[in-house]
Structure 1
Amino acid sequence: MAQHAPPARGVRLGRPAGANGSVSTVSGVVLLLPGVSRFSPGPLRPLARALARAGGTDGLVAHTVQHGAGPQEEAAGWAADEALRRYGDVPVCLAGYGAGGRTALRAGGHGAVNTVLALAPCLGVADEEGSPEPVKHLAGRQVLIVHGTNDARSDPESSFLLAARAKKANRSTCRFEVHSDGHGLREHQAEVVALGVDFVMGAMVSGRYSRPVTDALAAPPPLGLRMPLASGFGRSLRG
């Protein structure tokens, strides 16, 4: 596979976490897409550590995408290409927070992507041209959106409306609400991270999800798109 230059200066993949650091053992790649500020990573750092612990022996590796000044969707697309160049034909998950969550949803149509995780995505009602956020390209992917109900920076109703449209194009779409939490998802970070790990591992490694995720994927709208994230989620999963 030909090597493609980054779309803008400064775009690169961070150091790998998981898969024992061996290229030969990698079976899947999680690309972590941060928000606008590197000083507010939200739950991405603990998510990366948790994924490395949970999936490293199964060949899962995580990289943070350090993007430059260009469009973040282009950076995400380059990162997916770079993951394929490094590791071969492996499935890719785009996991983003804030503006990175929006990027994960927008770039989810890349041919290598099979999983999209959007945490507190910063979405508008419409894009710059006045059209709603696209969703048809998410068909065939496993999609999870997580949003705090008290998010004052990114309207949680926008992600619900997008999820409702995405569900029509892709039944493998679900959304969890973190009640009383804000944009940073700090109050229930442990549960958010556990949910993200459960979803990514199920989509990319085991093919199995916890009961709440299974129920959310199977439930018709709006039930599966307003699924409450239970306090203590993850403490006894698959126990």
Structure 2
Amino acid sequence: MTEPRLEVRPAAGATTAVALFCHGGTVASIEPPRERALSLVRMRTVEQFVSAAAADRGLTTCLLRYRVAGWNGMAADAHADVGWALDRIRAEHGDVPIVLVGHSMGGRAVLRAGGEPQVRAVCALAPWTPPGEPVAHLRGATVVILHGRGDRWVPAALSAEFAGRARDAGAHVARFTVAGGHSMIRRAHLWHTFVRDVVLAGAGLTPMRPDVAMALADQGVTVDL
């Protein structure tokens, strides 16, 4: 089994914050993710968009390349790889704010890591959150979720249930839904700008956009975009 690795787009100058992007995968597989997998291509596109908007503000972006394509039950391989990536980021950049962004399986992985040191916010896109997914570690964490209402791969009801339990556990949660499915292709620009805005605010580079700030303050309400 190979090591995970990071595709890094460095800040234009000194790094003042880091955003880690984690793509989707599958329930079970010990094969490496395919180079042209749609989940990887889409997340790279989002990461590049955010980097283009914020590299000159001190943001370094990293795209995590997993060892294997699957979650693989108790092994939770994607979550283990996120832990590896966070260790690398801390070793390289020290005590800077970190924002986690994940789609589908990657959303599950970053939510699992949401209580890690230096993580200032988690942005979960159509996250795969099966019933019983842990939430206690998210107490005090900032969690922003965006999910397509027509998602057939990971039904939006799963993230709604997760968001409710995370709020009850003490997390600060804002959940949004949008027309479209799982691939983030329909209304792609909305997905991109949403992630950009959450990352910049989580990194401390801009104020939180008003709709997200309002949703975080008004716990329990899902907002349709």
TM range (shorter): 0.7 to 0.9
Structure 1, gaps ≥5 residues long: 1-7, 126-131, 230-239
User: Do 2:143 and 2:171's aligned partners in 1 also have CA atoms closer than 8 Å?
Assistant: no
Alpha-carbon distance in 1 for matches of 2:24, 2:106: 5
Matched, 1:158 2:163: no
Task: Describe how 1:131-210 pairs up with structure 2 within 5 A.
Answer: 132-179=132-179, 181-210=180-209
Structure 2: which amino acid aligns with 1:162?
F
Q: CA deviation at 1:9?
A: 2.0
User: Do 1:77 and 1:107's aligned partners in 2 also have CA atoms closer than 8 Å?
Assistant: yes
Residue 3 (structure 1) aligns with: none
Residue 72 (structure 2) aligns with: none
User: Do 2:149 and 2:156's aligned partners in 1 also have CA atoms closer than 8 Å?
Assistant: yes
Structure 2: which amino acid aligns with 1:123?
T
Residue 9 (structure 1) aligns with: 2
User: Do 2:20 and 2:62's aligned partners in 1 also have CA atoms closer than 8 Å?
Assistant: yes
Alpha-carbon distance in 2 for matches of 1:46, 1:171: 29
Residue 87 (structure 2) aligns with: 81
Q: CA deviation at 1:123?
A: 2.1
Residue 40 (structure 1) aligns with: 38
User: Do 1:58 and 1:205's aligned partners in 2 also have CA atoms closer than 8 Å?
Assistant: no
Structure 2: which amino acid aligns with 1:13?
L
User: Do 1:18 and 1:57's aligned partners in 2 also have CA atoms closer than 8 Å?
Assistant: no
Task: Describe how 1:71-110 pairs up with structure 2 within 5 A.
Answer: 71-110=77-116
Matched, 1:59 2:48: no
Alpha-carbon distance in 1 for matches of 2:193, 2:168: 27
User: Do 1:163 and 1:173's aligned partners in 2 also have CA atoms closer than 8 Å?
Assistant: yes
Question: Deviation digits for residues 46-70 of structure 1, max 9, x if unmatched?
Answer: 3212211222122111111111137
Moved over 2 A (4+): 168-172
User: Do 1:32 and 1:63's aligned partners in 2 also have CA atoms closer than 8 Å?
Assistant: yes
Residue 11 (structure 2) aligns with: 19
User: Do 1:148 and 1:178's aligned partners in 2 also have CA atoms closer than 8 Å?
Assistant: yes
Q: CA deviation at 1:104?
A: 0.7
- In structure 2, the residue corresponding to 1:206 is in which secondary structure? coil
Question: What is the percent sequence identity of the aligned residues?
Answer: 30
Q: CA deviation at 1:137?
A: 1.1
Alpha-carbon distance in 1 for matches of 2:67, 2:109: 14
User: Do 1:108 and 1:116's aligned partners in 2 also have CA atoms closer than 8 Å?
Assistant: yes
- In structure 2, the residue corresponding to 1:205 is in which secondary structure? coil
- In structure 1, the residue corresponding to 2:116 is in which secondary structure? coil
User: Do 2:141 and 2:171's aligned partners in 1 also have CA atoms closer than 8 Å?
Assistant: no
Cα distance 1:203–1:170, how it changes in 2: closer, same or farther (>3 A)?
farther
Structure 2, gaps ≥5 residues long: 26-32, 69-74
Structure 1: which amino acid aligns with 2:128?
C
Give aligned pairs, total.
208
Q: CA deviation at 1:171?
A: 4.8
RMSD between aligned residues: 1.7
Structure 2: which amino acid aligns with 1:173?
V
Alpha-carbon distance in 2 for matches of 1:136, 1:44: 27
TM-score normalised over the length of structure 2 = 0.86
Question: Deviation digits for residues 176-203 of structure 1, max 9, x if unmatched?
Answer: 1012x00102111100111111111111
